Amino acid sequence: MSMLYPINSTSRRAVSLNGLWGFRTDPKSEGLACGWQHGLPAPDSIPVPASFADFYTDKETREYCGDFWYQTEVFVPEEWQGKRVSVRFGCATHLATVYCNGVEITSHEGGFLPFTADITEAAHFGRENRIVVRMNNELSETRLPCGATTVLPSGRKIAKPYFDFYNYSGLQRNVFLTAEPRESITGYSVRHTLLGADAEVAYEVQTNGEHAVTVELADEAGNVVAQAAGRTGVLTVRDAKLWKVRDAYLYTIRIRIADGERVIDEYAEPIGIRTVEVRGRQILLNGEPVYLKGFGKHEDSDIVGRGFNIGVMKRDFELMKWIGANCFRTSHYPYSEEIYQMADREGILIIDEVQAVGCFESLMNFAEASSGKRTAFFAKETTPQLLAHHLHSIEEMIERDKNHACVIAWSLLNEPDTTDPSAKPYFEAVFAKAREFDPQKRPRTFALLMNSKPGVCQCHQYADFLSLNRYYGWYLLGGAEIELGEAAFRSEMDAWQEAVPDKPLIFTEYGADTDAAYDKLPSTMWSESYQIEYLEMCHRVFDSYPGIVGELVWNFADFQTTEGIMRVGGNKKGIFTRQRQPKRAAFYFKERWESLPLDYKA
């Protein structure tokens, strides 16, 4: 299935289907038997894109877990006869089956990646058509992200995430109605090589037909700077302007299928030319060392939950630029495609994470983080099913994001259980697949939970660079004991430097929950002063190890989680509030990050 982002071109049409859709929960899973695929009885109206949860004032709907349905009417123009017409979902969380005029079209599993429902056969041209989507947001150990679903005596289902973010669901990203020629470009990839001042862009184009393919590259002024013919080839760019951190130059690649002079299909997209690799203890962009400064983030905001919000996206990028950040991890799932497009434009680096979170049996893994608990999450009867879904999600993520200059690495799991040898074959498969799918062979990593220590972790050898999530001074030895936290932190770092002397190491999480505008003199945990003291301690540690080449603090902003005794209105480790205003720590970061050079530690 093509993962190309919908565009308009001489041959293609993309019409937004965002707006108010019909909505119904289906707690007894009776919708299908009752014929809801033909149309929902008395639907409520709901905005798309958005998560459904936070619109509602009753707890049952907010916490709803089970089957639920969306529907809309789409007009398919008569002049699209002969084209392939599809509905393209940015995501549907977590399971979806799509119907057009009552006819089942397709199903998709995994709530954070796009899919297309080809409605050409079922659609009526020149008329309205009913699109109905049956979805399900239950959690299990066979699907990502992992969790459980419990059933209350009343029959109500409750999601029990093994992860620390709210199980927001629905049509959370842009939806398009698209028309493409029957013979079309279905995908393409680019790989960059720098040759002195010039660059070579090796490309590969996939189509579903036999006609000839041509490819050209235009600079930002629209001048064509390189051309080639054939499904594979090389575009040579003289005096190439490279894509750099916070200094992004974007060429436009234009691919055509033609029959003589007649253009059959045309697809164009901005691309940046850059290389990325790991060498020794450095992460190199265009052959030069980069020190990563930034955040683990979430797609999360008031009212719309995990729904893509173009305004929030803009504000987040402005804040990242203001604070001097250059990188973020898409914790803990691939984000909306528009966010990568913006990162490409802004020159912000992304560590792209697949939704493999919760692979550690615990309601929220921080509770087990420092306990030394040994489990064997990957030795279950259900593991083969989970692995198959995981590999498929990696394939989809890489297919979707492989051409983005901003994506410098793949994060293949967050805080998995790595302490039992049974994890090894699972990791081997996951890391091998990412290497196989990525034409650019980007570095691969995973975020290590506090339990995954040198000598205990069975899996860190698969990562091209190590990504540590560490909370000395918060979950472990915090408050008045922070000096013990620092000592324990340093002794773990000494052990890592010895165990892995030849790979870069970055922090993908460190942080302290902090109530905005709550302070104490002297500081106590949760106060703004403590957050800064905690960060100063962490940075003292980072600054004293040459092998540490990145600091992505947890989290960019406060975010919603499941309710519980550890969380007051969500996770408060944000450097910004959920409303995107600075805590005092933001000013502290701005000073630090603006003074650290890009090649810090080179």
Known catalytic residues? Answer: 415, 509
Rounded CA-CA distance 265/257 in Å is 5
Is 317 an interacting residue with respect to ligand CKX (CB under 6 A)?
no
Tokens of 471: 């909370």
Strand order of the sheet with strand 115-118? 13-16, 175-180, 84-89, 115-118
- With H, G, I as helix, E, B as strand and everything else as coil, classify residue 384: helix
Among 117, 450, 477, 585, binds ligand CKX (CB under 6 A): 450
Nearer residue to ligand CKX within complex by CB, 174 or 527: 527
**Is position 440 an interface residue for ligand CKX (rule: CB under 6 A)?**
no
Distance in Å, CB of 147 to ligand CKX, minimum: 13
Candidates 143-151, 198-206, 305-313, 469-477: pick the segment binding ligand CKX (CB under 6 A).
Answer: 469-477
Residue nearest to ligand CKX (CB): 369
- The reply on whether position 86 binds ligand CKX by CB under 6 A is no
Nearer to ligand CKX, 192 or 329 (CB): 329
Residue 145 C-beta: closest distance to ligand CKX, Å: 10
Chosen residue from 36, 89, 115, 475 binding ligand CKX by CB under 6 A? 475
Among 89, 251, 366, 431, binds ligand CKX (CB under 6 A): 366
Ramachandran angles phi, psi of 370, nearest 5°: -110, 10
* Cβ 517 to ligand CKX shortest distance, Å: 20
Among 352, 571, 576, 600, binds ligand CKX (CB under 6 A): 571
Nearer to ligand CKX, 163 or 243 (CB): 163
CB closer to ligand CKX out of 65 and 369: 369
Alpha carbon distance 14, 171 (integer Å): 18
**Which CB sits closer to ligand CKX, 253 or 364?**
364
401 binds ligand CKX (CB under 6 A): no
Q: Does 267 bind ligand CKX (CB under 6 A)?
A: no
d(CA 459, CA 425): 9
Nearer to ligand CKX, 415 or 417 (CB): 415
Q: How far apart are CA 72 and CA 251, in angstroms?
A: 37
By the rule CB under 6 A, 393 interacts with ligand CKX: no
Our finding on whether 51 is near ligand CKX (CB under 6 A) is: no
Cβ-contact 292, 550 below 8 angstroms: yes
Closest to 509 (Cα-Cα) out of 541, 547, 551: 551
Give me the long-range contacts of 35-41 (CB less than 8 A, separation at least 24): 35/102, 36/69, 36/132, 36/134, 37/99, 37/102, 37/104, 37/132, 37/134, 38/99, 38/101, 38/102, 38/130, 38/132, 39/71, 39/102, 39/130, 39/132, 40/69, 40/71, 40/132
Q: Report the site for ligand CKX in 111-130 (rule: CB under 6 A).
A: none
Q: Is 359 in the site for ligand CKX (CB under 6 A)?
A: no
Which of 265, 415, 438, 558 binds ligand CKX (CB under 6 A)? It is 415
Q: Measured from the CB atom, is 503 or 572 closer to ligand CKX?
A: 572
* Residue type for position 482: I
Query: Pattern 89-108, binding to ligand CKX, x per CB under 6 A?
Result: --------------------
* Interface region with ligand CKX, contact rule CB under 6 A, candidates 76-84, 364-372, 403-411, 479-487: 364-372
Determine the size of the site formed for ligand CKX (CB under 6 A): 15
Determine which residue in the list 471, 507, 542, 589 makes contact with ligand CKX, applying CB under 6 A. 471
CB of 376 to ligand CKX, least distance (A): 19
In contact, 68 and 132? CB cutoff 8 Å: no
Q: How far is the CB of 558 from ligand CKX (least distance, A)?
A: 11
Task: Provide Rg for the chain, Cα atoms.
Answer: 24
Q: Contact at 8 Å (CB) between 339 and 313?
A: yes
Residues from 155 through 184 that contact ligand CKX (CB under 6 A):
163-164
Give 267 or 475: the residue with its C-beta nearer to ligand CKX. Answer: 475
Q: Which amino acid is at 406?
A: C
Q: At what angle do helices 383-401 and 423-437 cross, to 10 degrees?
A: 20
Of 573, 578, 583, 601, which lies in the binding site for ligand CKX, with binding defined by CB under 6 A? 573
Binding flag, residue 509, ligand CKX (CB under 6 A): yes
Q: Which of 184, 301, 362, 365 binds ligand CKX (CB under 6 A)?
A: 365
Shortest approach of ligand CKX to residue 430 CB, angstroms? Answer: 19
Q: Could you tell me the sign of the dihedral formed by the alpha carbons of 363, 366, 367, 368, in that order?
A: positive
Give every strand in the sheet of 262-271, ordered side by side.
224-229, 212-218, 251-259, 262-271
- Considering beta carbons, is residue 160 or 211 the nearer one to ligand CKX? 160
Least spacing, CB of residue 411 vs ligand CKX, in Å: 12
What's the closest the beta carbon of residue 473 comes to ligand CKX, in angstroms? 12
> Are 455 and 499 in contact, with CB atoms under 8 Å apart?
yes
**Of 29-37, 128-136, 174-182, 361-369, which segment contacts ligand CKX by CB under 6 A?**
361-369
Phi-psi label, residue 390: left if phi above 0, alpha if psi -120 to 50, beta otherwise: alpha
Tokens of 525: 């945990």
Interacting residues of 591 by C-beta distance below 8 A, sequence separation 6+? none
Going by the DSSP 8-state scheme, the letter that residue 533 receives in this structure is: H
Nearer to ligand CKX, 243 or 410 (CB): 410
Q: In this structure, how many other beta carbons lie within 10 angstroms of the beta carbon of residue 523?
A: 18
Q: Is 299 in the site for ligand CKX (CB under 6 A)?
A: no
Planar angle of CA 487, 474, 468, nearest 5 degrees: 70
Region at 82 (left for phi over 0; alpha for psi -120 to 50; beta for the rest):
left
Written as six digits, the tokens of 289 are 């060392």
Q: Is 144 in the site for ligand CKX (CB under 6 A)?
A: no
Give whichever of 299 and 415 is closer to ligand CKX, judged by the CB atom: 415
Residues at the site binding ligand CKX, with contacts judged by CB under 6 A: 163-164, 332, 365-366, 369, 415, 450, 469, 471, 475, 509, 554, 571, 573
